[in-house]
Amino acid sequence: MEKDKLRLLVTTQCPNKCPMCCNNSWDFSKLPVVEHFNYKEIMITGGEPLLFPDELADLAISIKRIQKLVYGNTGKLFLYTALAESLPSNIRYFDGVVYTPHSAADIPKFLEVNDFFLYYKDEFAEGNTSLRLNLFPDIKKHIPESTDLSSWKVKDMIWIKDCPVPDDEEFKRVGKLWERI
């Protein structure tokens, strides 16, 4: 039986080299290729999708158009990323984002981007844009305690070995994974 949520892999490329990365344990060539977008939630993931902003915008616009024309505009589209600096110019394509800094070096950029999300907090709330911030303990300690994280729904994270797919999700890929040579 098909499920309500789709986790959609668009690339395996990523600037980070996290030791517990799911890419180390999955054989992505064996993932089924996505055939439709009739899901209540679609989560675009990688690798790092924001390495490919043009492809990402095209895909998000296409999915939204198909959802509206074919499926009655009921689906939500989310982006999973670790690239904070590209969020302000790309958040408009999505119903929400899950941002997960993966190293202490990500935090200065995140703090800049956090100011952007604070400035437009009311607009994002009005548009029901979901902003989720996943924090591993060794990353969280680099965020100054005085930082206003009120734009975000913060979730404390731990690494989970082999990245099991939740029961209510399907995990599929685009036909040709995005890559730069």
Which residues contact ligand SF4 (rule: CB under 6 A)?
14, 16-18, 21, 23, 46-48, 82, 102
CB nearer to ligand SF4: give 16 or 130: 16
Whether residue 46 contacts residue 76, with contact meaning beta carbons closer than 8 Å, is answered with no
Supply the minimum distance, in Å, between the C-beta of residue 36 and ligand SF4: 25
Task: Tokens for 181, please give them.
Answer: 């040579």
Supply the minimum distance, in Å, between the C-beta of residue 60 and ligand SF4: 19
CB nearer to ligand SF4: give 6 or 84: 84
Supply the minimum distance, in Å, between the C-beta of residue 140 and ligand SF4: 16
Position 111, amino acid: L
Supply the minimum distance, in Å, between the C-beta of residue 7 and ligand SF4: 13
CB nearer to ligand SF4: give 5 or 102: 102
Position 163, amino acid: C
Whether residue 119 contacts residue 99, with contact meaning beta carbons closer than 8 Å, is answered with no
Q: How many Å apart are CA 181 and CA 44, to the nearest integer?
A: 21
CB nearer to ligand SF4: give 12 or 67: 12
- DSSP E strands in 100-168: the ranges are 130-135, 153-156
Supply the minimum distance, in Å, between the C-beta of residue 48 and ligand SF4: 6
Please, which residues have CB within 8 angstroms of residue 6's CB and are 6 or more apart in sequence?
A: 34, 37, 39, 41, 42, 43, 169, 170, 171, 172
CB nearer to ligand SF4: give 24 or 74: 24
Q: Of 140, 157, 171, whose CA–CA distance to 42 is shortest?
A: 171
